[in-house]
Structures are given as C-alpha cells and as structure tokens.
Structure 1
Amino acid sequence: MPVFKSLIATGSDSFQKNRAAMLALVEELRALEDRAVALSSKRNATFAQRNQVPPHERIARLLDPGMPFLQLHSLANYLVDDPDPATSVPGASMICGVGFVRGVRCMIWADDSGIRAGAYTTSSLPVILSIQEIARRQKLPLIHLVECAGANLMGYIVEGWARGGAMFRNLAHLSADGVPTMVVLHGPSTAGGAYMPGMSDYVIGVKENGLAALAGAALVKAATGEEANDRDLGGSEMHASVSGLVEYLANDDAHGLAIARDLVGRLDWNARGEAPARRPYAPPLYDIDELAGVIPADHKTPYDVRELLTRLVDGSDFEEFKPRFGVSTVCVQASIMGHACALIGNNGPIDPNGAAKAAQFFQLCDQADLPIIFLNNTTGYMVGTEYEQAGMIKHGSKMIQAVSNVRVPKITLYIGASFGAGNYGMCGYAYDPDFLFAWPNASTGVMGGEQAARTMTQVAEVAAARARTQPDREKLRAQEESIIAHFSRQESAFYTSGRVLDHGVIDPRDTRRVLAFALETCRESRLRRLQPNSFGVARM
C-alpha cells in the first residue's frame, strides 16, 4: 500500500512557530513538575537526620535500574487548593506510576512526605482511586511507600471522609481478585491511614520511624486521658512482635525497600502470564521530534491528523478504513513498536457519516481484539438543520454506544480540542479509557469560551426581541468577556489535569513510547492469570 507522504515543510515559518509554542508549553509542564520535586527536596536534611531515604529516592531504589517508569498524575491538585499559578504545587503530595520491580510491572505509590509531611490534598483521594483502578484493571501488584500525615483536619469536609473509605474497599477488592498489595511503612500512618497497612497483603515496617495507629499519643490523651507512647501505640517493632500487623521488620528505609524488591521477586508473578508478543517493526519514516512543530498549539488551526499518524506508527504504514466516507473522521489500522492497534483521529467536527463509520470501526476492532487509540481533536458533533435531519443524534448515539461497550483496551490522547459530546464519542474521561493522557496544548470542555459567549449573547438578544426592548450592548460585551475568561481558564490541559481528569500531561515527542508502554501493559494484563479468592487476604 502507498505510504502517506507528509506535506509538512519543517523549515517553514509556520512549523517553527508551532514548534516554539509547543516547546514553551512543554517547558512550563517540566517547570511545574520540578516545582514539586524542589519543594520536597528542601526536607532532605530532615530525612538524613532521621536516617531516612527521601521519597523520590525511595522510588528510585525500589525500581529496576534502566527500566521505564510511566509517571501518572504529576499535575494533580494544580490550581485546586492554591489557585495562584505562580505558587500552586502539583502532585497532590504523591509520586505514582507504573514501573518494574524485579522484572514485574507494578503500580508504585509513594507518599511525598517532603511536602506537608505527605498530608492529603483535595486531589489526593481521586488520584488514589485512579491508580487503584488502573492496578485492578491491568492486574498490577500495588506497592505503597507510606509516610503520610493523613487528612488535614483543619480543612475537614464530610464528603472527603465518606468517599475516602473507597481506598480501603479497593485494597480489599485487589486482594480478593488475586492482585497482591504491599506496604513499606517508612513513617507515620495514623487514623484512617492505619488501614493502609491493615488492608494490604504484605506489610514491611521500618524500625524507629514506621508507625501505624488508629490514634497517636496526643489523640489518645485527648480522647481517653491515657498517657501513651507513640512507639508503644503503633511502632513497627511492636506490630512485628505483638499485634502481628507487620510481617517483615526492616532496619531502615533502604532495607525495607530491599525486602519489598525481594518479596516481589519471590511471588514469581511473571510465571502467571505470557510476555506480550511484539512483532518486528520499523521506526516511522518521519522523526517523531517533528510533532512539536507539526501540531498547532492553537486548536482552532486545522491540520491533517495523518501527519501525526505518519510520525507515530511503525514504518509510517497504516491502512485507512473507509477513507472516502465520513472523511473528517479518520480510522486506521497500524502498529506501534510492534503492537497491533487501531487509531481514530479527527480532521474536524464529527458528521453523521463519520459517527456511523466510527461505530462500525469500533465493533470490528472489538471482533478482532484490536486495542483502540483515540486521538482527540474535535469541536464535537455537527449541528444544524441539515445534520439533524441526516440523523446526527442517531449516528452520534451509535458511536457513543459502541465506545461505551467495546471490550478491547482503550487509550485516549487529548491532542487538541475535545469539546462537547465529541469528547464522549472519542472516549473521554467518563468512558473509562485504560489510559488517558493529554498534550500540553489540549483544550477540553463542553464548548469553547467564544462559542459559549456567543450563545449566551444570542439568548439575551432573543429575550430582548420578545420583550420588544433593545439589549444592553455594553453589558453583553462585559458578559462575553467574563464567559470567555471563565471557560478558557478551565479548558487548559494543566487545569484539567490538576483536577485528575486524565492520567497526566505528556510531551508530544514522548507519545510513541508512552503509547507502546500502555499497549504492552494492557496486553500483558489480558494474558495474565489470577488466583482470586472470596474475601481477600485476612490478617491473622
């Protein structure tokens, strides 16, 4: 089959302008991520005094050297608790992602106790529930490196407490499903947090620093009048010898992490699944680095999604499905680093033919067991008399019905616009994609700010006409400016990622590697055999 020939001139002014804009956004992304690391590192001297390993180093020591680590939710809580872009710290006081421990693909979750002693933020619970769901769906052993001051009682809201119980329910489900859960108790885990080790299958407690108690000494004194000692209440040594909560007692952080690595190795986890088959593959004919200049930073600037595909898939080789029907919706079959997959992208809004084509394509992918990658760049479904009469609702509903029910892995990328019901048909956040990442230029929402502003102006004009009055133009202009600012602030990828509406923002130039890692993770989970039990592992 003929290979798509790129029409992009990499030396053109438009390419260089796009590239400069995209790289500026990537630089902003890295600066935000570094903000959390820098703040955490300020407490390294305190960790050293306690003979502790800092949180980021804990992750590094746990993981296999040189193996990939896919960090998740690095922007969580950005602009949530602190709305000032200049000072807001992302990360939700956590470091989490998928990486390898003794050759086993695992979900890693470390409390970043260098930031407010690891205390939960508004976004911490959504992140925890997200990574627990990924671990369960992808059958990934979950390793939690615990040192957390728990919930902020000064900011207590009852909803947080009520919904927080899901963290422990999920640990019970993971255990019952046959997915191992493990805790390394580096520091305090009190109140509700005490159930993190309590609900985990394996607990490694670090001497002198590890602590798990329903109430610390101060709360015990306030509640009962008892003069108690924290170590007697919940120290790792006590739990290892008296309560039985701790299975393995470590001399220090480094020893605890070494025990965790050893335990994972002894599970012989990879014997329960086959390594995903990866066919030989050729790299794309065009450099993926060019994506920084191919894709306009402004989602209102159109481009051909095939220019992305030819820099993303193996050998720049893809087979297009119904290319002359529903032409603004592009459906292809290809492979990424040897993993067969299907991809759907947008060259504009989705019309009735495009929606019908997509629905059929999704069903065929389900039949062939082909993972689907959704490349979101659409302002939504077409509107107007012509499209309503052509069955836009009916065909759009078929597309949404299909994406809701396909059984194959779904991986979503927000690469430009993703507005309205188009987001739904293209497997947005509410449609449970296995992985969902955004590029830093992405914009998502019910509609664009300018469109929302014009809509409300037209509503006001119609109301004025009915009342036979003249609309206040100055007031309408002020209203439009306010609506545009309100919508635009919320559509940014950094803003939505801060609210845990994706699994992270990535550099477009990393897309091929990220997609290959996600495809391999999904395929590995499909080939893995679990040993479920009725109730999860009960502590004896």
Structure 2
Amino acid sequence: MSPFESSWNARSQQAQARMEAMLARIAQLRAIESRATQASAKSRPVFDKRGQLLPRERLALLLDEGAAFLPLCSLAGYLQDSKDAERSVPGGGVLAGIGFIAGVRCMVVASDSGIEAGAIQPRGLEKILRVQEMALENRLPFVHLVESAGANLTKYKVDGFVIGGSLFRNLARLSAAGLPVITVQHGSGTAGGAYMPGLSDVVIMVRGRSRAFLAGPPLLMAATGEVASEEELGGAEMHTSVSGLGEFLAEDDREALGLAKTLLRQTDWGLRRDTEVAPLPALPVDELLGLMPAHHREPVDMREIIARVVDGSELMEFKPLYGAATLCVQARIGGHAVGIISNNGPIDVAGANKATHFIQWMCQLGHPIVYLQNTTGYMVGKDSEQGGMIKHGSKMIQAVTSATVPQITIQCGASFGAGNYGMCGRGFAPRFLFSWPNATTAVMGGEQAARTMQIVAEAGMKRKGITPDPAQMQAQFDQIVKVFDDQSDAFYTSGLVLDDGVIDPRDTRAVLGFCLDTCKEATARQPRPMQFSVARM
C-alpha cells in the first residue's frame, strides 16, 4: 500500500466554512450532553448529606485512571420526553460505556440517580437493552451501579413494562454465556429493580443505603396491610446476613467500588497489550472538520476522510475503476487490518456488486469491515431498474446480513433510503454504530419527500377537477420538509437510540481503534458458557 496523496486545500474558503459549521455542531452537541451532568449535579447537597458520591464520581472512581473509556448513547431520550430543544435533558437517566476496571475491558452501566432518583426513562430502558446486547456480542463483563427508583409511575406505559422484561432476560443470558454480571447496589432497587441484583452473579451492598425489595413499605401496606421498615424488608445488612442476596457489605460507596475492582482483577481477564505502536495518519486529523459539507447535496471525496483515519494514511483500493462511486478500501486502523466501504455518490449496479464481492473477501480474510456512510441511496431510473438494481442491491444487503466478521458503522453524512441498509445501518446490527454531528438519516431527503407527495396530491386533485391553491400547496410542502428534516437530524436520531452516540469527527480513529480492540479481545476471550445462569443461593 502507498500513502494517499491528498488534493484537499484545508485553507480554502470552502474548507473554513465547513469547519466552522462542524465546530458549531460539536459545540451544540457538548452543550446538550452537559445538561445531564448539570441536572444530576443539582442533587449534590442531598448526596453529600447521605455520605454518597454522585453517579459520575462513582463511575470515575471505578474506572482505571487514564485508561480509555467509550461513552455510549449519550443523547438517548433527547427531544423524546420533551420536544423543547432548549430544555430537553439527554441520557435516559443512565450512564453507559465501555471502559477498563483493574485492566479488564467491561461494559459499565450506572443509574444517574441525581435525576429523578434514577427512575428508568423509556429511552433509558432502550439504552440499557442496547448495551446489554453489545456486552453479550463482545464478550464483556457487565458491571451495574444501581440506585434507581424503578419505573416512573407518573409516566407509566404498559409497553415499557412488558419490554422491560428483556432487561432481566439479558442479565440471565450474560451470566449463562460465562460473562460476569456484577452489581454494586448503591441505593434502592424496588419491584422489578430488585431483580437487577437478583439476576447478578455477585452483589455488593452499602450499609445503610442499599435497598432491594419486591414491595417497599407503602406498597406492602397497600397490598397486605403489613407494616415493616425498609431495613427489615430489604436493607443491606439483612440481605448480606439473612436473605443472601448480597455477597459483600461495604461501609460506603468508595469501599463498594473498591470491592468491584478487586472482583474484576481476580477474573484474570486483564488486557495484555501488544507493544507495537501503529503509525498515525500522515495527513492532519483536524482537517476532518472541514472536509465534510454541512449539507448532503455538496460532493466530498470520502478517500480524503479515510486517509485521515487509517494508519500512515496508506490505503489500497479494491476495483477502483469499477463502480467508482462505491469505495472499497483495504487499510489498517490502530494496527488492525480492516476493509472500509464508503460512498462518493449513489450505489449503482456495479457498486453494489463490488461491495458484495469485497464483503465476502473480507470474511474470507477474517478482517473487520468499517462502513463510512455518505449515501443518498441506491441509484434509481430506467437504466438502473433495467440493469437489475433491485436484485444486485439485494445481494449487497444479503452480504451485509450474512457477514461473519465484526462490522462497525460511522454515519459521516447522508444515510438515505435502502442505502442505510446496504451500508449496515442500525437495522443490520453492526457491532457499533456512531454518527458525526452533521449526519442525516431518513427514507429520503425532506425536499424529495415533499415534492413526491406534492406530485401525488396534485394528480389526485386533477382527477377530481380541483384546482390546487398555490399558497396552500407551498405551506404543505414546507411542513413536510420540516417534518423530515427535523427527524433526520443526528441529535434527534441519537435521542431515539438509533446510534451508539454522536462523536467528534476528530475522534473517529480513536473510537474505531477502541472498538476494533474490543472486537479482537472478544474473539480471543474464552468464557465458559453454561446451560444456566449463576443462580442466587
């Protein structure tokens, strides 16, 4: 392979304008993310009075100092419970990510109990279910820092209750797969929340603070008339000495987290790193800010993006002259040999066939596939249809579905129509999927959708002999564009947990390297699956 020769002028007016637009989106992203931190921190006086650490302090103390940490789904719930963009708090009431504890790569989930006492929000539930699946697929121990008021009964919906059962099913699946499930019970776990420690392999409780019961005192009184204190029903001392739900009794949050680190250290699953250091890209990573246009209608050569992500900016194109709008590239990221698929235009028949061939070849080599999405979809038109676009696009989708190697997706720009599917969108279960702040996801562009619906509406009026009102038609057109554009925004789709987080483009190489390390470690790790999960005794 040879280094990519860039033709991009990072000092041009176009590059500067794109960079300013991207930096503005990144600043907006960080401001939105910070709302959860600020909202949780307002509870500090209460936590201090109880001698507790705030959720983010617990997480920081648990994770290895200076080690990499990959936050996941940080925008979950954004614009979902509240449509007010200025007041909506993201995160779903849950902190989650992949990090290292005593050298062991783990999936870590923590109740953000500074917000609504850690009550599980609808998108927070989806967030937990997503990261549980990621832990199972990537063979990661699951560490849960629990302090939750359970379901928010003021926002009760029956579908949340029913689907919520998957959370407990997944805990059992993780344990049965030989992956340690460790819970630190910092505070309350009521009703369904009590099954979080109940379905864990090891539980650490905090004296005077941990609570776990199927029915708390108010519900018990309402249901049976029985009167009992919280400590009698489900306190830490009772569970560690009488019921056996807890294995370890800590005096405070710090000791509890120290015990969790000791447990992980004793698994002997700590990462043994290779000493070889992969070369950095030869081209400046900061230029990623100015390469990607703010709107998908402007073209971009995705090779310029790839060259600022891969080792040494070295890449080797596969069939570069065939289906040229579909890029298939071999390269290395952080020392990992990978195949990269991206888009310099719609996916045509040749591009779909090339991608299918490339995916199968990567599977034969055992190389992970990275998808850098920037597509308006599969090519349409008479020539395309007669050329068999449907069947050839379907072959590509089949290849993505059946790939036997890890697949990781970054939505860099447009992700429209079936192009989202063929480029391994969320529905095709990539190991990880992240978005850039400028990314847009939709069945089609807003103006395209509005024009299509307008043509249909005008044809219907013509058949009925009705003359369209231009002002009314324009108003409907503008409304349709707004609906599509609002829902296609990366922050909105991330709020729906349709990705695993929005990232700064400059962090793409680091994020991909971390995910590839995780996949490689999962392949090497040999858990001992059982026909049952570890039961409470």
TM range (shorter): over 0.9
1:299 deviation in Å? 1.8
**1:507 and 2:504 matched:** yes
- Counterpart of 2:338, as a letter, is C
Matches of 2:449 and 2:134, distance apart in 1: 35
Match of 2:468 in 1: 471
Q: Deviations over 1:382-440 (max 9, x none)?
A: 11111000110011000000000001000000000000000000000000000000000
Matches of 1:371 and 1:176, distance apart in 2: 27
Match of 2:415 in 1: 418
8 Å CA contact 2:326–2:342 kept in 1: the answer is: yes
Match of 2:392 in 1: 395
Matches of 1:74 and 1:289, distance apart in 2: 23
- Counterpart of 1:81, as a letter, is D
1:289 deviation in Å? 1.0
- Counterpart of 1:44, as a letter, is R
8 Å CA contact 1:278–1:338 kept in 2: the answer is: no
TM-score, normalized by length of structure 2? 0.98
Match of 2:180 in 1: 180
8 Å CA contact 2:142–2:181 kept in 1: the answer is: yes
Match of 1:128 in 2: 128
Matches of 2:466 and 2:295, distance apart in 1: 38
Matches of 2:447 and 2:273, distance apart in 1: 46
Q: Deviations over 1:49-100 (max 9, x none)?
A: 1011110000001000000000001100000101100000000111110000
Give RMSD over aligned pairs. Answer: 1.1
Structure 2 residue corresponding to 1:353, chosen from 350, 354, 358? 350
Matches of 1:291 and 1:73, distance apart in 2: 22
Runs of 4+ in 1 over 6 A off after TM superposition: none
Matches of 2:55 and 2:14, distance apart in 1: 43
Give 3-state SS (helix, strand or coil) of 1:178's partner: coil
Runs of 5+ consecutive residues of structure 2 not aligned to the other structure: none
- Counterpart of 2:372, as a letter, is L
- Counterpart of 2:180, as a letter, is P
Match of 1:86 in 2: 86
- Counterpart of 2:67, as a letter, is M
8 Å CA contact 1:279–1:339 kept in 2: the answer is: no
- Counterpart of 2:45, as a letter, is A
- Counterpart of 1:477, as a letter, is Q
Match of 1:192 in 2: 192
1:337 deviation in Å? 1.3
Q: Deviations over 1:470-498 (max 9, x none)?
A: 33322221111110010000000000000
**1:241 and 2:234 matched:** no
Structure 2 residue corresponding to 1:294, chosen from 291, 295, 298? 291
- Counterpart of 1:413, as a letter, is I
**1:112 and 2:109 matched:** no
8 Å CA contact 1:460–1:471 kept in 2: the answer is: no
TM-score, normalized by length of structure 1? 0.98
Q: Deviations over 1:306-344 (max 9, x none)?
A: 110111111110010000000100000000111111101
Matches of 2:143 and 2:464, distance apart in 1: 64
Aligned length: 537
- Counterpart of 1:235, as a letter, is G
Matches within 5 A, 1:451-462: 451-462=448-459
- Counterpart of 2:427, as a letter, is A
**1:22 and 2:22 matched:** yes
1:466 deviation in Å? 3.3
Matches of 1:125 and 1:310, distance apart in 2: 38
1:460 deviation in Å? 1.7
Matches of 2:516 and 2:268, distance apart in 1: 23
Structure 2 residue corresponding to 1:492, chosen from 485, 489, 493? 489
Match of 2:331 in 1: 334
Runs of 5+ consecutive residues of structure 1 not aligned to the other structure: none
Match of 2:225 in 1: 225
**1:382 and 2:356 matched:** no
Match of 2:213 in 1: 213
- Counterpart of 1:186, as a letter, is H
1:3 deviation in Å? 2.8
Match of 2:526 in 1: 529
1:269 deviation in Å? 2.2
- Counterpart of 1:333, as a letter, is Q
1:467 deviation in Å? 3.7
Match of 2:362 in 1: 365
Matches of 2:481 and 2:89, distance apart in 1: 26
Match of 2:429 in 1: 432
8 Å CA contact 2:2–2:316 kept in 1: the answer is: no
Q: Deviations over 1:492-511 (max 9, x none)?
A: 00000000000000000100
1:222 deviation in Å? 1.0
Greater mean alpha carbon deviation, residues 280-289 or residues 519-528:
280-289
Matches of 2:275 and 2:321, distance apart in 1: 32
Identity %: 54
Give 3-state SS (helix, strand or coil) of 1:148's partner: coil
- Counterpart of 1:232, as a letter, is E
Give 3-state SS (helix, strand or coil) of 1:123's partner: helix
1:292 deviation in Å? 0.5
- Counterpart of 1:51, as a letter, is G
